[in-house]
Amino acid sequence: MLLLMLSAQSCADDDTDLAQIKLPPGFAIEVYAEVPKARSLAIGENGTVFVSNRGGDSVYAVVPVDGGDPEVLELLTGLETPNGVAFHEGDLYVAEISRILRYANVESRLHDMPDAEILDVRLPSERRHGRRYIGFGPDGKLYVAIGAPCNICDREGYARIVRMNADGSDMQPYATGVRNSVGFTWHPQTGELWFTDNGRDMLGDDLPPDELNHAPQAGLHFGYPYCHGADLSDAEYGEGRNCNDYIAPAQKLGPHVASLGIRFYTGSTFPAEYHGQIFIAEHGSWNRSEKIGYRVTLVRLKDGVPIGYEVFAEGWLQGQSVSGRPVDLAVLADGSMLVSDDHAGRIYRIYYEE
């Protein structure tokens, strides 16, 4: 079903809040498409951008049009919290809370979607931190985040990232001690997993930090619920535990910024200093006395190790007033970067124009 055709530039001109977005010199931002409650992003082989809709029940496609503005199609409706989307070998994967659906040869069927195949995999049904994030690694495996069903607890089978075959078979834990990851990606050269993790709540405004983590191999434990941010022992679960026994964050992020989508910049049109660096969408705090986040940040790497954490795009938070909440990131073939926003219902395009 065709929902709308949007002129990205005209929307950018009509919405004065975009003028408040601050970017490094030479960068510009526009509205690429308007998609209700736009959440996770996945890009198909033909440049179709698949967009989930966590707060609703739909999945959308933003389809490039030669010489024109992209079309927005509502592909699927009636789903249960479809948060995760992934594209693999021509097929679209959609993660609901307790199941994963596969739609075969999707880019050739955008106006006539095939029936879903339900993968034979059992996922928890708890709704708290149950909005699944998914992605395919360079090993061809499907990775799925299974968040803790609480603020702080110790329950078997949760707080982890698992991986499985593309058909859902042979599900195995890959990383544990992960409270709630809503974004992961792989280094474009090494193929190693990097992911964000949201720290626990109710320890005050400034503790603990969110985390950027690096998992070069399976079987690593990242501390939750015993330790947070490398060296903060949990008052309830940390007794008798040594934080040095767990993998410390590769980079501590802001406290309660709700770090979600993460991408290495793999394009060629940003200046060289951004190539191979990590961008993170920070959705923004919900229980902090003064809001923080609502921005896109940059983690600079040298020899595969973080050496800096800085703001790349900000302005969706003005004082304590919020106009947007970045969720996920994707790099288009032209080297520009997409940012989804489930508060404003938009996908932005950030590009370098010098």
pLDDT value at residue 17: 79
Give the 3-state secondary structure of residue 213. strand
Average pLDDT over residues 211-239: 97
Positive or negative: CA dihedral 117, 119, 123, 128: negative
CA distance 5 to 126: 37
Average pLDDT over residues 260-289: 97
pLDDT value at residue 154: 97
Strand-by-strand arrangement of the 184-186 sheet: 184-186, 193-197, 209-215, 251-255
Average pLDDT of the chain, as a whole number: 94
pLDDT value at residue 14: 44
pLDDT value at residue 16: 45
Q: What is the pTM of this model?
A: 0.94
Contact residues for 37 (Cβ-Cβ < 8 A; gap 6+): 53, 54, 55, 56, 342, 345
Band (pLDDT 50/70/90 cuts) for residue 11 is: very low
Q: Quick check: 90 and 99 in contact, CB under 8 A?
A: no
Band (pLDDT 50/70/90 cuts) for residue 67 is: confident
CB atoms under 10 Å from CB of 157, counted, come to: 12
pLDDT over 50 (residue 12): no
Q: Write the pLDDT tens digit of every residue in 103-131.
A: 999 999 999 999 999 999 989 999 899 89
pLDDT value at residue 7: 36
pLDDT over 80 (residue 76): yes
Q: Quick check: 324 and 344 in contact, CB under 8 A?
A: yes
Positive or negative: CA dihedral 326, 155, 193, 54: negative
CA distance 127 to 120: 20
- Taking CA atoms, 129 is separated from 21, 115, 125, 295, in Å, by 30, 28, 10, 21
pLDDT value at residue 208: 97
Q: Write the pLDDT tens digit of every residue in 131-155.
A: 999 999 999 999 999 999 999 999 9
CA atoms within 13 A on the CB side of 305: 3
E-state strands within 98-224: 100-103, 117-118, 134-136, 142-146, 160-164, 172-176, 184-186, 193-197, 209-215, 220-221
As a dihedral over the C-alpha atoms of residue 96, residue 98, residue 103, residue 104, rounded to 10 degrees, the angle is 140
